[in-house]
Amino acid sequence: MKNTDRVFKEMKRLESMIPSGFMGIGDHWDFKALWAQVKAVQEAFNEARFSTREERQEAWTSFQNLVDKVKKKQAENSAESAKLRDRIVGKAEQIPPSDDRWLAFLLTLGMSEIIESFFGVSDSRKEDLKNANKDLQELWDLAKAKNDNLLRKDKDIAYQALRSANERLQEAWNQWKQVREEKSAELRNQIVGKAETAVPHELTELIGTLGLAYLTDGLSLIVEWLEDEKSKLQAQREALQEVWALFKNEKNDLLPADRQTVYQALRDAESRLQRAWGQYSKARDEHNAARREKHEGWLNKVEENLSKNQQRSDKLNGVLERKRQNLENNQERIGKLENALERKRQNLENNQERIGRLENALERKRQHLDELYEKLSDARSDSYRERVEGWIEKDDSSIEDIETQLERVNGWIEEDDSSIKDIETQLERVNNWVQEDSRTLNS
């Protein structure tokens, strides 16, 4: 017997290297070391001389049983690695998911009429890509957790599939962002265009034109002009309000930069409209002042004529007395009408001052809204962004309330304007009666 001790020693070492759990489950199999030890046992067999053939066969059978265990486990590991590889590759190839609605939409790019349908498709696609991000991360985590279960070649295939999926997903995100930016820009241009159409940049220079009209005594032309300008400004205000409503409905579909551009365009249009209203108000006030001055001059002439008629009172006797009484009644009525006219004018001035206060409050609210939009652009967390959006909605509501009050006070101003015209008409009629009485007294 020669070197048989070495055979059994090497076999015992081989057996100790095979994990002792059930089929080696849960233990680490070092196949490189195991096959090196198998080779060592084979070399020991080649050098050994057993006493009998039976003894050698028994030892060889025990050795082959150990080798079979190694082969079987290696085959199982190979199958497990291939299964894990196919699982990772199969799921990775589905990233990003295909979306028939999104693909169909991409074929219609450039058609502005489909802009409304885009945002619903875009939101759905965004959710799909977010889910794909999550799925891909789970696959990366699975590959890392099962890294030791993958053979080298399977590992290379699996990781290449994950990297390819990552590239496709990034490309899909880039495509989504590019199209999202394009559609936001289209919506921005639409709203900005509507704002510029609602309130054009060119303003009518009323003041100088009114001065020329006064020089030529074109009062009827001025009244018609003011009414036409007022109607035009009211129409622009209503059109701008419609654009504001459109912006409020669509602002969530605009990217922050486009949203700020649209908001600024609307604010600019509103400023232009306010300047136009201010110009109109100034022209109207100058017109009313001129009318009052002219009316006062006419009243002075009436009083002068009345004084002359009174000098002839001794000649008119009873007729003169009746005429005087009638004249006094009409003068008293003029006084009442003038008092009513003064009250209406005072009420008109009060409402105009109230308009100024409301416009100042509206400007402050809008300036605050500008600051909130800047905070919204700089928001770094969803919670803070939601809080700022809540403040914006509150300021939007306050602005709407102030605009409602402005509209109501403007309505009162229009009513006062109408009442003043009615009283002035009555004054003119009573003055005609006084004039008639004066003519009778002078005849």
Angle separating helix axes 152-198 and 219-250, nearest 10 degrees: 170
Place of tokens 């050098």: 47
pLDDT > 90: what percent of the chain?
Answer: 2
pLDDT in tens, 303-314: 776 567 567 656
pLDDT tens-digit series, residues 280-294: 888 777 777 777 777
Pick the closest to residue 88 from 33, 31, 141, 45 (CA basis): 141
Is the pLDDT at 26 greater than 90? The verdict is no
Supply the DSSP string of 272-321, one letter for each residue.
HHHHHHHHHHHHHHHHHHHHHHHHHHHHHHHHHHHHHHHHTHHHHHHHHH
Give the model confidence (pLDDT) of 343-358 as tens digits.
888 888 888 888 888 8
Average pLDDT over residues 102-118: 50
Per-residue pLDDT for 91 more than 60? yes
Determine the Cα–Cα distance for residues 196 and 188; give it in Å rounded to an integer.
12
Among 171-185, 196-210, 261-275, 341-355, name the one with the lowest average pLDDT: 196-210
For residues 364-368, give the mean pLDDT: 86
The structure tokens 């004084």 sit at 307
* Closest to 258 measured CA to CA, from 245, 247, 244, 242: 247
| pLDDT for residue 398 | 87
Q: Is there a shared CATH topology between the 199-311 domain and the 314-443 domain?
A: yes
pTM comes to 0.41
CB-hemisphere CA count at 13 Å for 52?
3
Tell me, which fold does domain 199-311 have in CATH?
Answer: Helix Hairpins (1.10.287)
Average pLDDT rounded to a whole number, residues 103-110 = 52
Average pLDDT over residues 367-394: 85
For the segment 309-329, what is each residue's pLDDT rounded down to a tens digit?
567 656 746 766 777 787 778
Query: What are the domain boundaries of the chain?
Result: 4-77, 93-177, 199-311, 314-443
Say yes or no to pLDDT of 7 above 80: yes
* 3-state secondary structure (DSSP) of residue 401: helix
| Phi, psi for residue 94 in degrees, rounded to 5 | -90, 5
Mean local confidence (pLDDT), 24-38? 73
pLDDT attached to residue 371: 85
What integer pLDDT is reported at residue 113 of this predicted model?
46
Q: Cα dihedral angle (323, 329, 333, 334), rounded to 10 degrees?
A: 40
Q: Own/partner pairs for 425-431, CB < 8 Å, 24+ apart?
A: 426/337, 427/295, 427/334, 427/337, 427/338, 427/341, 430/330, 430/333, 430/334, 430/337, 431/298, 431/299, 431/302, 431/334
- With a cut of 50, say whether residue 111 has pLDDT above it: no
Between 264 and 375, the more confident residue is 264
Q: Which of 10-24, 34-48, 82-96 has the highest mean pLDDT?
A: 34-48
In words, the CATH class of domain 314-443 is mainly alpha
Per-residue model confidence as pLDDT tens digits over 167-181: 888 888 887 787 777
